[in-house]
Structures are given as structure tokens and as C-alpha cells.
Structure 1
């Protein structure tokens, strides 16, 4: 996961924003805010998580699946692992 280490600061900033958004959602539910406001916060969190997923996914593809020097067997294994994660994410 070398690509995640390279972009550790960016990834952590995204995760911290998501954490803040989920804390705000929890507070909104506790305060019994309007449903529309809560739905908007949920949509924002989903967008933030999707953005994080895209960033890590792109790094995985570039650094692992498309890495130079992989044998066909190794590349196939990388693709299989990635496909499994994507299937889980998209359920």
C-alpha cells in the first residue's frame, strides 16, 4: 500500500472531514433536526466516502494492477482482489 503512504496526509484529511460530518449527523439526529437536513448530511457523507474510495482505488490501480514488471499471474491476482473489493463496495 505504498501509494496510501505517499498520500497519507491527503487521505487522513479526507477521513477527518468524514469524521466531522458523521459527528454533525449524530448531533443533528440527537437534536431532532428536520429530515431534509439529515438527508442532506447523509448525502454529503456518502459523497465524501465515495471521493475517498476513488482516491485510494486510483492509487491501487496505478501502483498495483498496472505496475510494471508484474507477471500475468500476479496481475490477474491483483485484478481479482480489486474486483472482490469493488463488488463488496457496490452492494
Structure 2
């Protein structure tokens, strides 16, 4: 990810068209490598193991406790939006 950020920064300050094309090619290659790393290996099921009823209950209780703590400290609405992917 840091390589992509560095290439993007270099792209913004490219000297000429040839330099810009080279950076774009490197950026595309880095993006393909990152995509390959982010995908799960072929032939395996997802890495999430099934949870028991008690594990699910503990997880939900922990989420509820986090939400209560967030509202108690005044950060509740931002915390709620973040957990839903809105912030």
C-alpha cells in the first residue's frame, strides 16, 4: 500500500509525459500485486470459521458495550456511522 501511495505522489509531480507513463505502468503493476495479496488463495473456503452460539453472543455483547461506551463519552453518533461505513 505504501508503494502505491508513493507512486501516486510521484505521478502528481511527474516531469514529462514519458516519466508519467512509466509511473502509471508501475502503479498498475503495484495495484495488481495488491489485488493478488488481498484475494484468498484458490481452493480454500473463507478464512472465517463458524462461531458457536456463545461466541456470537459474546461478540454481540462486546459490540453493545462499545456502543454504550461511545454514547457515554459523546462519540456515539460518529461511532455508529463508522460501524455502518458512513464516515
TM-score range normalised by the length of the shorter chain: 0.3 to 0.5
Tell which structure's C-alpha radius of gyration is larger. Answer: 2
Query: TM-score, length-normalised on structure 2?
Result: 0.47
Query: TM-score, length-normalised on structure 1?
Result: 0.45
| The structure with more helix, counted as a fraction of residues | 1
